[in-house]
Structure 1
């Protein structure tokens, strides 16, 4: 590789640094394994939606490495230097458009035409807002350069009908104004389909059968009557084969009894035989017919009269001859031509079969198509061509957003800079006196949490609502404690546009949050355990007292047992004595230590209690990574993107007073107990005095004071000699 790359070690990964235009131009040479991301979704990102749609050329809802490389290649051909892209400027200088190519010259002319239409002749740059204003101005014009024509009232009635019919049968594309219209491809496909259909219909009408001009009607009627007439002749054959079954082959009386409303059901009547069954090998076309089929049989009799030997009778052989005479016609009907289809925005709603024959004839000639081609040719000569405007808009968007995309895809530079936010950070969650800055989009909480659990992050899944809208987010808590983080708590989510959402915690993935939490956790557990035991003991004693009171009320003759009471008091005394002895032993052990051993004892005790919790938390906090969290949201990440303690404190901020604030520690709602304070101070003084007396009595004070006196006297003697 000829290009010299620069990498920054951050988040446990070597991430490429984009310092100049050459770094972007040579990006196709960079090994994909060195990209932080391999793909990402087009939704749930704090990124320009129009740019994402342009990048997603295959419309699969994902951005991949080839999409980004294609965007770089496309942009490189249309601008002079990539250096301006590093500035992520809102404006595209006209001087940056590469006019050395025919397309570049055309884009430059279009850009100048846009500025001229907006009375900005002295401006030498283009913005997306300029393009949008130009589109608004031109979208309602018939000739606006988009090469798509809706059925505008400015067109002739014949052309309007041509366009409307094409939209119904082929489909439509959206023009600049968002209306349905047709382009030249749709118009040509429409006329070609009309001609194919017209030729097929002509072949059908020219087909010779014994029924002449009534062939089409006869064929449709035969198709409809075939099941019933075939069924009739089959029943006749069965009656001839087994005369005793003739009654069973006819209609049972129970099937022709009127329903509750006195009427016969058409559906039930249609299922009955066509006519009365006997052994006669001919169908009477006048008498004894099923009432529901009588009209159709009458019309059939009129159409096939020339083929019948007896006007009112149809033999089985005559019926077979009629079907045979229409067999080739049936084949022609079945060979319905395959009409062309196009990939359109608005799908067709009708078929060519629904178009009247006269209308097909009027539109199948090339006259209207020729007029439409001239309209397209005139539209293509419009100074501000819609296609060129869209290319300019794409160029402006890539010029503005391409660099930010690179530092949120190839590297995660934005994520590791405290003053910026990454594309996947949707906003801030305020809850429990903290602000969580790492909030990502969630589609399905159950599916998301399965993968996100491997991130070792404490995650709050919140359902956010605002003005009837709803979205799901996952917020990472990386600082503070988690005692009050419970499901059901409410907070406020502020998205990147400044909109506030009501946030409700619906699920929590519990993980270590901070070292502070790990230090306090054992003492909190001990406190909860003691509190629970006291509550149990108090509840038990309360139940015993209540039970004893009930027994006393039920048995008032029971007298006070002094023996039992003495035993109880003796037991209480023993318990108090044991507690006092234990405390005395503890204090004696403490005071037996030298002065420098005392703090070491407390440090050792602290390490014994909090040490294991802190070590486990530290190990888990070191494993916190961003990868699984983003993977759960649809990203594909290369390796782990670690979140260390420093970054964790930045991602979740705690409530702090302003630096210039004043604090008044006198709480007006706090109850004052002056007598208790005096008693507490006296007790402290008494304790200090008692301790000092005990130390003096045991000789500790003399043991330490005598060496000090001797050292002082030696110093005095030494100074005197000098």
Structure 2
């Protein structure tokens, strides 16, 4: 019984990741349940890897790689290698001895490798590199004769042969060539020659021999083509006329059925000539008569008069050798029989596809030298041609050797995501913004869908539009902020994005998913909100006071202007005295109200000062600290819960990944993904004391709050003990008094005298 396979896992965050470093680990992947894969599906454009390699894995051609496709790739690679050490080294050079010749595709890959080495003429016949394979692949795709003996026109040095190949492709379409264009295969050549001969034979049957006036196919000699065209112009209408005549001869009442329908006439617009012409073109040639004779002179449809006149002159006169004014059905059948041979010849042209090349060129191409030249090109090309499919198979084998383990280690497990010295395949680069480096960026194809999923990740996420400097298409990335503060991050802010190819690109924030970034920021958030509320209230009060002051000032200036505008000699009427007294009263009331307000404020300040002066400083610090803790504690608890729930899986799921595990942020990840780089060693002029002063103040406040709370509890305990002791003493005194009251009175006996 074989020993069970050992699966080695590592714990990262809150999930377990399979260790994938060797070919044996790849074998473990085949046996690992899908539920233990970190990812079971991923978008192809989300992986930074050789696109040709990814295309070889992607069997469904749907832009995604799923777990079964990766399993098939692993199974194929393990089967193709009998020496799997190259898989572990990620080599782009394959040892021919490492290829398993007994695998289904092993013989083909070995054949392609040996043929490449033979072509290159190198001394090393034991290894073949990816660069060598791709050079041959490009050569095969570009060469004028493919392994399937498809010859491109450029393969011919003779311009006549080259033009022949070009014409074959133009007329028959040709066969696909690896270069992406069409060429000429042996089948195409044979088909072209067959059609050329058929067309020339067909054309010859329509020719009039020298010395002859006509033939069966050309009954009117050189005039046959024009006469036949005139016949075709009216043939259907004349056939219809005689059919109507036969019907009327059988039943005269049927004549009414052949006239235009009332609905058709109602739809006719008498003001539209085009509409009238359309009705006439569809109407019969002439009214049907039981005698089955067509009067060529009267009652002819105006739309057919010209065509019928040409038919009479070019067909009837030469065919029947007489001038007619009436055409009987028997004569009509005689005319059609006269042109029957020509009609059959014209209706079935052979080699129509090559007819446009013309008789002269087709006769030239049928010369033996053309076919022989094309066949020689195909034979010579086949002798040295590679089987492109075998070359691609060898390329696939080398790519799998180089990339299969790294891709599995970024799909089945994600160790590189948790290693700050390495970059996972789905990472896009580093963002430099707001004095920080954000080292995790994931490509986003649909920002709206990504934002819906990222909102549940409890992470602060920025979406940026990246504009490559080389003019390539813009793209979007999602960048989580995992430590520090939000700082000045906001939509519209710009920075630079350094992709993993070291290309600097312009980047701009276009959307933000807001969540706590760090515990410290979450703790001070309530105080910031309180400050914003107070600031808003003060600004509102200030604005209101300014408006009232502006109103009062405007009113006062208005009254002064009114007084100045009155004539000096005019004595104000007595009735104006009460308003002046009222304004004086209002002014006095205002001053009195202001005095009361100031007095109330002063009393409040005095009361607060008196109250605080009566308290011990420890009580004051304890009260302030308790108030601060009452605000900070809930915020800290909520922030800790949210920060602990931060999940990198949502960032990837929004980009189209199917993630099984919860990928919690670790402390090294938080610090690395959002990093404040240190200043160079030996830097001067840096004012670091401000940071330490702020830390000292925070520590002092917290320490004061703790000490004050302890002191407060101790004082409360001492006071309670003192009260208890006083109560006990009072009870003891009361008991003593009760005992004295309960004892009998003592009698004083006078001393005896001797």
Match of 2:627 in 1: 605
8 A Cα contact 2:244 2:288, kept in partner: no
* Distance in 2 separating the partners of 1:527 and 1:616: 20
CA distance in 1, matches of 2:332, 2:656: 67
How far, CA to CA, are the matches of 1:323 and 1:393 in structure 2? Answer: 68
Given candidates 635, 642, 651, the residue that maps to 2:664 is 642
1:398 match: 400
Residue 470 (str. 1) matches residue 458 (str. 2)? no
Partner of residue 106, structure 1:
111
| 2:14 corresponding residue in structure 1 | 12
Count, aligned residues: 637
Instruction: Give, in whole Å, the separation in 2 of the partners of 1:323 and 1:636.
Output: 75
Q: 2:497 aligns with which of 493, 498, 505?
A: 493
Gaps of at least 5 residues in structure 2 are 206-215, 564-582, 691-714, 719-754
Distance apart, 1:154 and its partner CA: 2.2
- Are 2:168 and 2:174, in contact at CA under 8 Å, matched by a contact in 1? no
1:481 pairs with 481, 485, 490, which one? 485
Q: Deviations over 1:204-252 (max 9, x none)?
A: 999xxxx967999999988876786688889998995499999998999
1:522 deviates by 0.8
**RMSD of aligned Cα (Å):** 5.4
Q: 1:578 aligns with which of 604, 614, 627?
A: 604
Contact 2:462 2:513 in 1 (8 A): yes
Kindly state the Cα deviation for residue 525 of structure 1 after the two structures are TM-superposed.
0.8
Q: Distance in 2 between matches of 1:232 and 1:512?
A: 90
Find 1:591's aligned residue among 607, 617, 636. 617
Sort the Cα spacing of 1:492 and 1:542 in 2 relative to 1 into closer, same or farther, 3 A. same
Match in the other structure for 2:310: 298
Q: How has the CA–CA distance of structure 1 residues 639 and 165 changed in structure 2, closer, same or farther, with 3 Å as cutoff?
A: farther
C-alpha change, 1:115 and 1:572, in structure 2 (3 Å) is: farther
CA offsets 1:305-333 (integer angstroms, 9 cap, x no match): 86999956567898899999999x99999
The reply on whether 1:542 has 2:546 as its aligned counterpart is yes
Against the structure 1 CA distance between its residues 245 and 509, is the aligned structure 2 distance closer, same or farther, given a 3 Å change threshold? closer
Which stretch shifts more, 81-90 or 412-421?
81-90
Q: Deviations over 1:402-451 (max 9, x none)?
A: 22111111211221211111121111222222322222222232233233
Quick one: distance in 1 between partners of 2:38 and 2:170? 46
Distance 1:630 1:217, change over 3 A: farther
Q: How does 1:670-709 map to 2 (within 5 A)?
A: none
1:26–1:299 distance in 2 versus 1, CA, 3 Å? farther
- What is the CA–CA distance in structure 2 between the aligned matches of 1:83 and 1:567, rounded to whole Å? 95
Which residue is equivalent to 2:280?
272
Q: Deviations over 1:450-485 (max 9, x none)?
A: 333333332222222235432222222222323533
Kindly indicate which of the two structures has a greater share of residues assigned to helix: 2
More displaced, 33-42 or 97-106?
97-106
- Give the secondary-structure state (helix, strand or coil) at the position aligned to 1:429: strand
* TM-aligned CA deviation for residue 56 of structure 1: 2.7
SS of residue matched to 2:619 = coil
Distance 2:514 2:115 in 1: 57
| 1:2 positional shift | 3.7
Give the Cα–Cα distance (whole angstroms) in 1 for the partners of residues 261 and 493 of structure 2.
Answer: 81
What is aligned with 1:522?
526
What does 1:427-466 correspond to in 2, within 5 Å? 427-466=429-468
Residues 470 and 302 of structure 1: CA distance in aligned 2, closer, same or farther (over 3 Å)? same
Q: Which has the higher Rg, Structure 1 or Structure 2? A: 2
Alpha carbons of structure 1 residues 181 and 502: separation in structure 2 relative to 1, 3 Å: same
Secondary structure in structure 2 of the residue aligned to 1:561: helix
Give the whole-Å Cα distance in 2 for the aligned partners of 1:589 and 1:194: 117
| Equivalences for residues 32-71 of structure 1 within 5 A | 32-71=34-73
Contact 1:477 1:652 in 2 (8 A): yes
- Partners of 1:57 and 1:216 lie apart in 2 by 59
Cα distance in 1 for partners of 2:614, 2:345 equals 115
Q: CA deviation at 1:490?
A: 1.7
SS in 2 for 1:627: helix
8 Å contact kept, 1:153–1:160: no
Say yes or no: does 1:180 pair with 2:181: yes
Q: Partners in 1 of 2:606 and 2:513 — Cα distance?
A: 46
Quote how far apart the aligned CAs of 1:194 are.
8.7
CA distance in 2, matches of 1:85, 1:482: 44
In structure 2, do the counterparts of structure 1 residues 661 and 296 end up closer, same or farther at CA, with 3 Å as the change threshold?
A: farther
